[in-house]
Amino acid sequence: MSDDGEPGGTAGRPMLDVLKGSGITDILVTVTRYFGGTLLGTGGLVHAYSDSVKAVLEACQTEELVEKSSFTFSVEYPLYEIVMRFLSSFHTDSIKEDFASQVLISGCIWTSEASSLEDGIRNLSKGKSQVQFLQ
C-alpha cells in the first residue's frame, strides 16, 4: 500500500482496509486521483479513496482461485447434446463450439476434474474422441 504523495494514512491504508474487509484475496487495486482544484482535507481523501475501492469491488466479478486446464476435442454431431450435458456436470467455463465436419469443443476445466473429463469423453465416443489439454 502507498499514499504516494497524499498525506500519510489518507490513501493506501483506507484502500487496504476496504480490501481486507471484503474477504477477497489475490487482488490489486490502483486508484489515480486528479486534482481538480478543490482541497478535500484528510477526511475527504480517506472517503474518496475508500469509496473508489468500494465501487471497484461492487463492479468486479470474483471466482474461487483454482488451477484450470484448457481443453479441446471434437465429436460427431449425434453425440453433441450428450457431450454438452456431460460437460455441464463439471466446473467448466469459456466453452466454445465450432460446427464443421465435426463439432470442435474447447474451454477450461478445473485441473482436478481433467482426467474424469478425458475418461468420460473417451467412453461416450467409444474411443473415437480424445481430449487434448493445452499448455
pTM of this structure: 0.66
> CB count, 10 Å around CB of 56?
17
Q: What is the distance between the alpha carbons of residues 5 and 96, in angstroms, rounded to a whole number?
A: 47
Q: What is the distance between the alpha carbons of residues 135 and 129, in angstroms, rounded to a whole number?
A: 19
What rounded mean pLDDT belongs to the chain? 94
Are 106 and 95 contacting, i.e. CB atoms less than 8 angstroms apart?
Answer: yes
**For residue 6, is pLDDT > 70?**
yes
Q: What is the percent of the chain with per-residue pLDDT over 90, rounded to a whole number?
A: 82
Predicted local distance difference test score (pLDDT) of residue 95: 96
Predicted local distance difference test score (pLDDT) of residue 135: 67
Residue 53, Cβ density class (10 Å: 0-12 exposed, 13-18 middle, ≥19 buried): buried
- Give the tens place of pLDDT for each residue, 91-102: 999 999 999 999
- DSSP code of residue 105: E
Q: What is the distance between the alpha carbons of residues 108 and 5, in angstroms, rounded to a whole number?
A: 43
> CB count, 10 Å around CB of 55?
11
Mean local confidence (pLDDT), 67-72: 96
**For residue 53, is pLDDT > 90?**
yes
